[in-house]
Amino acid sequence: MSRLVAFAVTSFALSALAAPPAAEVAYRKGTQKGWMDFGWSPRKKTAGQAEQHDLKGYGGWILTREQPMRASQAGGLKFTYRAPDGLKDFLEMKLDKPGTPGRSWEKVRLAQRHLHPLPGGAVEVYVPMSELNPNKQEFDRIVFFAYRDLPSTWVTFDEVALTVPPTTAEPATAQPAVPTGTPRKVTIDCRGKGTPISPQIYGIAFYPLWEYRDDHHWAMHPAARRWGGNHSTRYNYQLGEAWNAGSDWYFRNLTYTNKPGWTWETFLETNAKHGVTSVITLPMMGWVAKDTTSSGYPVREFAEQQQSEQSSGAGNGRSKDGKWINAGSPTRTSIAAPPDFVAGWVKKIRQKATELKTPVTYILDNEPGLWDSTHHDVHPTAVGYDELWERTKAYASAVKRADPTAQIAGPAEWGWSNYLYSQKDLKSGGPRLRPDRRLHGDVPLIAWYLQKVAEYEKQTNVRLVDVLDLHFYPQADGIGIGESGDTSVEGSLKRLRSTRSLWDPTFRDESWIDDNVELIPRMKRWVAENAPGLGTSIGEWNFGAEKHISGGLAVAEALGRFGQQGLTSAYYWQYPPDGSAAYWGFRAYRDYDGKGAQFGTTALKAQAPAGASVFASTSADGSKVVVVLLNLDPQNPLDADLAFEGCGEGGARRVFSYAGGLKGLEPREAKEGPLSFEPFSINVIELSRR
């Protein structure tokens, strides 16, 4: 053993930092995609081997990223190096970006706390961002250099990577590294009251466009099914199957062609059969389809369009230069649907639901901030603060008159921009000018909307909106939706980090948003400050890569957070494919043993080590503790020592695991003591309490 390694082993046992998994690799036996190799020291390059640098005379090496990286995208820097025996206390590193003052960047000298010995004499180094980049600046280069004048000294570098940001809401702190194979503590705390888990968070969406199988998703045991999406804005219940596809498909009026006879009544009947709540989206834009054949921009009337469908003669509503065409009267495709029209539907729904003895709740339309594009043929103007509230007031009050017991959610906005600004703002100067918002006290759109709900209730003693409902789709590049999305290691880790925008106040979203979204805490704060007593719902959500384990992990992470955070309801868009990783992410909570076993009804406090997430629950009768443990590390197993604190005497234990593939959650040995869980895996631990 070299003196360098002996020195590292001694210090490692005392204070070395555990390196999280890589978020992005810069160098691995050569520069990786998006990175360039610079520097001023002599070097030896051999194809397929790590690079050697002669650090004599204050030599150094620079790795430069083609695009700058935000501080929030990395938790630290890790790399390996091999130096001659006896050489120590020589290496320093920093981050940098041209145009920034040199004093803005910390120079970090390797110390005992950074070093971890590897077999064969190499050393792994991990330096957290709290040391390298305390000012949280954007950077585009990693610089290594000798901080003292060395003689000719060849040092081998490899596996240079930026690591994932911390996976918990607590600030990242130095923690003792744990040698491979040493169990890491996972704590489940049965003391205290816990947080009730609403079953409605396990909801899915219904959107039967071109292909639909009604038996496709029931094995997931969803608790609710939502009738929603763009088509619901112009659904005509009086014609049963008539709706308009808007910009999704050439502004055509359509029918559920592959499911003849499928109507809202069939929807309620099927849901009642499976014992799930029906969630109906009610139109409030004012127009619904008049038939199943008309189109908003027929080529026979608007010949010069950007795109058209030959079979139907319907166009996409844009001229050859991409500008919107004036469609003229909405009556080409639609009939007026005032509040009384919708109230008539609610009366029929109530009657049908009573006959079926099945619960129903309502959502006020779908993504009104996008009506001017999605339904441009009948609503070409951008929705502002006043229109959103006036339509809410008119339609919700009509619904409450038709059914005083109705539970209504709204405003079902699509995403970040329309949480804060109206579409009129975004089309008239954007957030900087925000003319509509300034006319309304410069209050964020959703907060203002809630204020109006509270004012109306104070004046009339009628609460028009019972649940604040917003949609959430991660916006970072490569995450995708449905089966799409980047499934490389870097893309997968980004997908998992993006779930933190649901709940983590410290996480800065890695997209054009570039802000702390913290959606669920923000929603709860808006409710508490403006309309106390309302519930909170995420009416649509999806993290993409449904058939990849990272997609399944994202689903399991989101569902765990929904319960932990006390969300009222959530509806996955649309539903995971049979047997997919996302499907098994659902099954971890809804039927992990294939015999109906489910996650509990009360969320417990739980704590996992870095690189993992844990969600714990008790059953309604208190007889079982069920834990979902996620290993978010793509390379290393998680050796977990589960500590059930205050849970009483433990009885029988069952364990189920899934790490991708077709087999799904499989039972495994449930021995006492520490358990090892595969990299990138979903794991369920059930403990029966005596």
Q: CATH no. for residue 463?
A: 3.20.20.80
Q: How far apart (Å, rounded) are the C-alpha atoms in residues 472 and 540?
A: 6
Q: How many domains does the chain have?
A: 4
Parallel, antiparallel or unpaired: strands 467-472 and 535-541: parallel
Cα–Cα distance, 141 to 128 (Å, whole number): 16
- Taking 70 as the threshold, does the pLDDT of residue 174 lie above it? no
Phi and psi, residue 523, nearest 5°: -60, -45
Is 56 among the domain residues? yes
Q: Which one, of 292, 232, 222, 233, lies nearest residue 264 by Cα?
A: 232
**At 75, which amino acid appears?**
G
What is the domain-level CATH number for residue 639?
2.60.40.1180
- Which residues lie closer than 8 Å to 438 by C-beta, 6 or more apart? none
| Mean per-residue pLDDT of the chain | 89
Asked if pLDDT for residue 106 goes beyond 90, the answer is no
Q: Are residues 348 and 438 in the same domain?
A: yes
Domain boundary, last residue among 309, 332, 355:
332
310 lies in the same domain as 365 = no
Segment 264-284 shows an average pLDDT of 95
Listed residues 536, 567, 596: the one ending a domain: 596
Both 677 and 660 in one domain: the answer is: yes
Do 80 and 157 touch, CB atoms closer than 8 A?
yes
Give the pLDDT of residue 169.
33
Instruction: Kindly give, in sequence order, each residue whose CB lies less than 8 Å from that of residue 546, ignoring residues fewer than 6 positions away.
Output: 482, 483, 552, 576, 577, 580, 581, 582, 583
At residue 490, does pLDDT exceed 90? no
Mean pLDDT computed over 680-686:
97
Are residue 29 and residue 158 in the same domain, yes or no? yes
Which of 52-56, 289-293, 367-371, 577-581 is the least confident region? 52-56
Residue 7 counted as domain residue: yes
Are 237 and 348 in contact by the 8 Å Cβ rule? The answer is yes
Q: What is the DSSP track for 621-640?
A: TS-EEEEEEEE--SSS-EEE
pLDDT at position 215, please?
Answer: 65
Task: Say yes or no: 120 and 243 in one domain.
Answer: no
pLDDT of the residue at 213? 61
One domain, residues 519 and 640: no
400 falls within a domain = yes
Same domain, 137 and 260: no
Regarding whether 527 and 619 lie in a shared domain, the answer is no
Residue with tokens 């390797």: 110
Is 211 a residue whose pLDDT tops 70? no
| Cα 641 to Cα 673: distance, rounded to the nearest angstrom | 7
Residue where a domain terminates, one of 596, 625, 651 = 596
613-627 per-position pLDDT tens digit: 999 999 999 999 999
| pLDDT tens digits, 217-269 | 898 999 999 999 999 999 999 998 899 999 999 999 998 655 667 899 999 99
- CATH value at residue 42: 2.60.120.430
**Which residues constitute the domain of residue 496?**
198-289+337-596
- Read out DSSP for 152-196? S-EEEEEEEEEEPPPSSSSPP---B---TT--EEEEEE--S--EE
Residues 342 and 326 grouped into a single domain: no
Question: Has residue 182 been placed in a domain?
Answer: no
End-to-end distance of the chain based on CA atoms, in angstroms? 52
On whether residue 617 sits in a domain, the answer given is yes
Q: Say whether pLDDT at 173 is over 60.
A: no
Q: pTM score, two decimals?
A: 0.78
pLDDT of residue 18: 58
Residues 446, 572: one domain? Answer: yes
The predicted pLDDT at position 661 comes to 85
Pairing assessment for the beta strands 43-44 and 195-196 based on DSSP bridges: unpaired
Q: Are residues 98 and 208 in the same domain?
A: no
When pLDDT is averaged across residues 604-608 and rounded to a whole number, the result is 95
pLDDT of residue 257: 58
Within a domain: 472: yes
CA distance to 3, 21, 58, 116, 380, per residue, from 86 (Å): 5, 30, 18, 16, 74
What letter represents residue 394's amino acid? A
Whether pLDDT at 55 is above 50: yes
Same domain, 152 and 220: no
Question: What pLDDT digit, counting tens, does each position of 442-486 carry?
Answer: 999 999 999 999 999 999 999 999 999 999 999 999 999 999 999
Instruction: Compute the distance between CA of residue 225 and CA of residue 209 in angstroms, rounded to an integer.
Output: 16
Task: Tell me the average pLDDT across 655-674.
Answer: 91
Give residue-wise pLDDT tens across range 522-573. 999 999 999 999 999 999 999 999 999 999 999 999 999 999 999 999 999 9
